[in-house]
Structure 1
């Protein structure tokens, strides 16, 4: 058994710099990242499984309105929440995902239920919401999910006649972990992009794009301009470079993110391998991120110049 357990988390990437965030936003985001690290580390430090650690960490971030996932999720063009999430276990590459759900308080836990209690990988919309109720997943209403800032963002987008997220902060949350037995897992959860229409689904719930885990290579959770991450098959591509070419995690992550950038996309990834090594790579001005490992204190960062 290895003692090199590791947990890495992210809370989104984009135009995130000291001129954009208020001191209160900066402090609140760092506090939430720290709580998420503590939740996941509590699992790993007690010989828990990586799949349980990533779910625990992401649940904390889903409950915090500083990020675009579950509580605090961005709104569709019609002013609704449509939530996406995925989780994957590197031991056997089992996975569960949901897209366009609106009633599960913690979509990552619903995705876990899809993995553990259904024959499917991806459930969507009303069917996924029905499955959530059948599985006794905790429910929440609009009064929990929707915060005033998101209503203001949607109004600003409509006034600008621009379908992009006006703040250009891809607030997807995610976690990757390697447990003490060398098993990796990944989880990702998001509200998508402000003003999305027609049931749009990004990369987060798509296995091999925004979420991927394979003990033979690594675990990946992504955040960014989802359409480009889908086209680049980011999670699987990083894993393939590690497994087939023997590339170090950093080299593989940087190469794939360069591919996303070449297509016109931006964002970031967090990655960990079965030896407990971990990296992040992003092409934006900042990415909410944090890491904790066995024998090392937690650290969180937001801006690119923080290392």
Structure 2
């Protein structure tokens, strides 16, 4: 039985009203259009989630991939994870340095190892052994286009992330997330993005990708909690808003995107804005930054 495909992606919470996001709006629409063609051709949810995140990483427009911000030591430590809802398989890398697309490395961890996460030097050695594309000249590669993205005072957990959730024509769900983490982070800091259940989740009912102050998302198992709430009978909109309200009640901010097996889409956030775009099961494409 064929299903109508759907997807939703984000370019990070923390958007500020004084900034112009025309370039991001155009790019996110381009990504959705490209992924719609892939889904219509029968591509799997997991492949499309990874391909969408690669496009977001490579653009330099978001705080992931080329748009990464350095840590306090001036190093670029990148995180990513993905999850295949049909199999519950997951892969992740944390504090990865020197390689172009952390989400591709996360996919390789899932496909080529018995593990779920590799971190730091071990992740870099694995990426090298798998022949993944290195960055080379960091000064030429990283655009730092995401600098100034946050809406937080100095010394707080300002942030940026990209992610995608997908429903394919076979009814399978998948999610992928990638980030450089919070601005000015301590070397070795790991947030929610590379942690399945915290920053990324996909099962038979839902797919979720989170963006925000990761320390709070970890504390409530935000992405998996959406799935558990839906499994318990909550509609997707209610489940996702409940998680964001819980994070807000603890003093954290950010947002998440989610998609269920019926193609329902949700994107709650409590920051000023969240860059996001989507494809409905009816074939409509939408892009938004500040509207709810």
State the partner residue of 2:245: 258
| Number of corresponding residues | 289
CA–CA distance in 2 between the matches of 1:3 and 1:110?
A: 29
Give the structure-2-normalised TM-score.
Answer: 0.94
Cα deviation, 1:268-306, whole Å, max 9, x if unaligned, reads 111111122221111111100000134423211111x3x
Question: Which residues of 2 match residues 21-60 of structure 1 at below 5 A?
Answer: 21-22=19-20, 26-60=21-55
Structure 1: runs of 5 or more not aligned: none
Any conservation in 1 of the 2:92–2:107 contact (CA below 8 Å)? yes
Equivalent in the alignment of 2:130 = 135
Whole-Å Cα distance in 2 between the matches of residues 247 and 8 of structure 1? 20
Q: Which moved more, 1:32-41 or 1:7-16?
A: 32-41
For 2:200, which of 211, 217, 224 is the aligned residue? 211
Q: Which has the higher helix share?
A: 1
Query: How far apart are 1:192 and its partner, in Å?
Result: 0.4
Mapping of 1:169-248 within 5 angstroms? 170-215=159-204, 217-243=205-231, 245-248=232-235
SS at match of 2:268: strand
TM-score by length of 1: 0.89
Take 1:79 and 1:198, find their aligned partners in 2: how far apart are those partners? Answer: 9
Q: Secondary structure at the match of 2:83?
A: strand
Runs of 4+ in 1 over 4 A off after TM superposition: none
- Is the counterpart of residue 146 in structure 1 residue 142 in structure 2? yes
Deviation at 1:144, TM superposition (A): 4.4
Would the aligned equivalents of 2:72 and 2:187 in 1 still touch at CA under 8 Å?
no
Distance across 1 between alignment mates of 2:82 and 2:179: 12
RMSD after superposition: 1.8
Give the structure 1 partner of residue 99 of structure 2: 104
